[in-house]
Amino acid sequence: MTVVQSKTRNLGVLMIAFSPVVREGLQAIMNKDEGIEVIGDVATGHEAIQRIRQAKLQGRPVNVVLTETRSGDVDGVQATRLIKDEFPGVSVLVLTENLNDSYVIDAIHAGASGYIFLKDMTPKVLLQSIHQAVEGGTQMTTELLRAAVENLIQNGRKTLAERTAEAAHLTAREVDVLRLMGNGDPNKVIGAKLGITLDTTKKHVRNVIDKLQARSRTHASIIAAQAGLVGKPVNGIIAEAKTIDF
């Protein structure tokens, strides 16, 4: 495999609780990318917090955490929540063997940037997913969006009316940004499409996430889909949701 040209330099990646075979395979792939530094691997979410703190003090910050929904005694959802509570700027990507794994949805509610379906994962998909997560892209497919919306409704989370009321606090520009977030566009692409600077784009994205009380941009996209906040009914959004194009 040829070395991938780095889009973002010096991305620190931490792994949680993968089997030795999977861990070695992931590390071998990431080592091919000059812009990625594998910080290490840990056994639990609490150990991940300690390693992230330590790496930050050493000037080698962790940007992305890779985890599974469940691995042995490790709960990937709990690990995601712990990480995002203390380090909201760290992106978490969940690897799963089951597209219908309910824990994936829970992980996104906990703040995960998205997931990678192991059956479809190639070295290119893994590396680009890592870069996309840092750059603000949403790692979400139509199938996951559908499952997420159904999960929200079935479990009595905030109703359509409540979400719509929240949307009333979004400015017209924030709604434009939310539409593009729902498409999985990273910040640079959103800025280019709307003709605004990257800093302004980041500010709008943060405002959208805060106003929707979302844990991440992916979670905000799911909320938008549930409530039809982007000007179309939920079914229409699900039908047109895009898979990240690698």
Domains, the chain = 11-135 (3.40.50.2300), 151-240 (3.40.50.2300)
Q: What is the C-alpha to C-alpha distance for residues 1 and 31, in angstroms, rounded to an integer?
A: 11
- Run of H or E residues at 71: strand 70-71
What is the overall mean pLDDT for the chain? 76
Yes or no: say if 65 and 129 are a contact pair by the CB < 8 Å rule: no
Position 219 confidence tier, pLDDT thresholds 50, 70, 90:
confident
> What's the average model confidence in pLDDT over 241-246?
33
Pair of tokens at residue 139: 């790692």
Q: Are 129 and 10 in contact (CB under 8 A)?
A: no
**Structure token pair of residue 185:** 């566009």
Q: What letter does residue 242 receive in the DSSP assignment?
A: P
Task: Tell me the pLDDT tens digit for each residue of 12-31.
Answer: 999 998 888 888 999 999 99
What Cα–Cα distance (Å) separates residue 18 from each residue in 22, 67, 74, 180, 214?
6, 7, 10, 33, 28
Q: Mean pLDDT check: name the lowest of 170-179, 195-204, 231-240.
A: 231-240
pLDDT at residue 114 in the model:
79
- Is 37 a residue whose pLDDT tops 70? yes
Which amino acid is it at 3?
V
Which one is predicted more confidently, 38 or 7?
38
If pLDDT is split at 50, 70 and 90, which confidence band does 237 have? very low
Q: Which residue has the higher pLDDT, 50 or 139?
A: 50
Three-state DSSP at 163 gives: helix
Q: Which amino acid type is present at position 237? A: I
pLDDT of amino acid 227: 63
- Which two three-digit tokens encode residue 57? 């003090």
Residue type, 12: G
